[in-house]
Amino acid sequence: MSDGESVGPVLGLETGSPIASVGLVAGGRLLGHISRAVESHGKKLPALVDELLESAALRLEQLTAVAVGIGPGSFTGLRIGLAYAKGLAWSGGLPILGINSLDAMALGASRHPIARPDAVICPILDARKGEVYAALYRATATAVEKISDDMIVDPGHLTARIGGEAIFVGEGVSVHGARLTDAMGKRASILDNDEHSDSRGMMVAALGVARIASGDVDSVLSLQPSYVRSLEAALGGQAAARLETAGMEAVWSKEKRSLSSSTLLPTRS
């Protein structure tokens, strides 16, 4: 039995997009998940959590921890989700775990049949002003390996740095999908956004289970959303201009990071 199979139930919340997604994972099993488009996360999130707990025949006091997507994504949505998660954790004396939203999206996409070992997975979210939040991952036989830092980037710059095939997933494909396929042709695979947005709360919960199993938790007082700055904001105009010529390697991670063993992917109860 893996360490994660002894952990749970963990509630996962993801509110960084117009989709509110919540999930419950325990003992390596999916207990339930709900994802819905909402106009206001603040108004709908508590009701979604209540509905999810009722469907799983659980009470708040039976939770082991709360995991919450901390971005990148919508500033307002992330703040609402984190504030709600902190309230649950504080009132219930529960550990809280901040989960990178792109990590959760990549983990969900890795379950798709086309995500064969060595496939590059690129979750993208619309960052407005013609840019996307993105990161690159590589699927392996037993894990999802993160091979870049999170970034805000023009889709054209992003595709120029991907030498082979890539699988794109996320709300950003609705806005930029045509541009991605124009640039990469058959090297670009676009996953259905409606299908994969449903899994985000579940994947946040699964990554939370992995963090709990390793004893890595966050502080309910200090946990903050992860806002990714643009190249111009982070480096200044001249440095950013040089990167346009040199490529994006300078903002990519030099150390690969494994997100999760495949044993932590939840199965349905």
Give the model's confidence band at 194: pLDDT under 50 very low, under 70 low, under 90 confident, else very high: low
Q: What is the pLDDT of residue 241?
A: 45
- What is the reported pTM? 0.86
CB 126 within 8 A of CB 104: no
Ranges assigned E (strand) in the chain:
10-14, 19-26, 29-37, 65-69, 96-99, 120-128, 131-134, 137-139, 144-146, 151-153, 166-169, 188-190, 257-258, 267-268
Helix (H, G, I), strand (E, B) or coil at 148: coil
The predicted pLDDT at position 267 comes to 59
- The average pLDDT across 156-167 equals 92
What pairs with residue 268 in β-bridges? Answer: 30
Residue 22's beta-bridge partner residues? 13, 34
Helix (H, G, I), strand (E, B) or coil at 5: helix
- Answer whether 69's CB lies under 8 Å from 60's CB: no
Q: 41-55 and 75-92 are packed helices; what angle lies between their axes, rounded to 10 degrees?
A: 50
More confident residue, 6 or 97: 97
**pLDDT of 229 over the 70 cut:** no
Per-residue model confidence (pLDDT) at position 248: 35
What is the C-alpha separation between 59 and 77, in angstroms, rounded? 25
Q: How confident is the model at residue 67 (pLDDT cuts 50, 70, 90)?
A: very high
> Which contiguous run of DSSP H or E holds residue 83?
helix 75-92
Residue 158 has pLDDT above 70, yes or no: yes
Average pLDDT, the chain: 85
Q: What Rg value do the Cα atoms of the chain yield, rounded?
A: 18
Q: What is the pLDDT of residue 140?
A: 87
